[in-house]
Amino acid sequence: MKKIIALTDFSNNAYNALYQATRLVTGEACTFYILNVFNSFTPLRSQPVKKEPSQQLEDESSEGLEEVLHRIKRDDDEADHLFITLSKRGNLVDITAKVVASESIDLVVMGNSGRSEIEAILMGSNALDIISNVKKCPVLTVPKEVDFIPPKEIAFVTDFRHAYDAGLLQPLLYMARRFNSKIYVMHINEEEVLDKYQTMNRSVLMEYLLPFDHTFTWMPRFKNKANSINVFLEELQIDMLSMLNYEHSFLERMTREPVLKRVAFDINIPFLVIPYTD
């Protein structure tokens, strides 16, 4: 991970995500782009003053970024970590995607503010939008009020329906390699047996995981898949959840349904979403 975007709305939740990102790359050279996006719908952080609201929003964005920059430089003493602040007016998803492309970003990190279904509906739409629409870069959501824990136990939920390659799996394997993690591959039982294509993909995945401590688990399907995942995470005390996001995937379907809020917003561990591109 050489370049990371940390999205901020200047909340403690957003700062926690930025700080945890610095811990993930401790000892490595990395550039962090601390990005704040604002528009006419952004609430003012202070009382209105004698200036145009648009100018006040711009000023507050710049001032807020300076505060975050000062704080993270105080808390992160890694000499090889460079921090760049970006204040942009516009749509969060569009701006993030543009910066990902222009700066060849390796990871987008953001806070995940919703810890209940209603909070997710009211406050978590930004995370949903980024997961659903930023297709060129992995996204890591970090739940609020959670201390950094090295991801020694990583769950990878998959249906074996798409081919794996080194580039696709790189974010997952990077984390496992850095922290000497065990990878728990979880397949939810939707069929009696895997078909020929799934069996082949499973074999390929096993080859990529050979250098790592890993297990494959075939989970029974509970009332819904979200429940299956949550039971799995709790029983094995997982530190990080990872999934692939591709067209018609389980994850994509969840982003269109309320069920996602019971996975992405009701867990207290980081959630790594890896986009699948043909």
What's the average model confidence in pLDDT over 145-170? 91
Higher-confidence residue: 169 or 192? 169
Q: What is the rounded distance in angstroms from the CA atom of residue 211 to the CA atom of residue 186?
A: 18
In the prediction, which pLDDT does 120 show?
A: 45
Give the per-residue pLDDT at 118: 40
**Is the pLDDT assigned to residue 260 strictly greater than 70?**
no
> pLDDT for 191-234, tens place per residue?
778 889 999 999 999 999 999 999 998 877 656 666 777 788 88
Percent of the chain exceeding pLDDT 70 equals 81
Rounded to 10°, the helix 53-75/12-24 angle is 40
Mean pLDDT, residues 115-127 taken together: 51
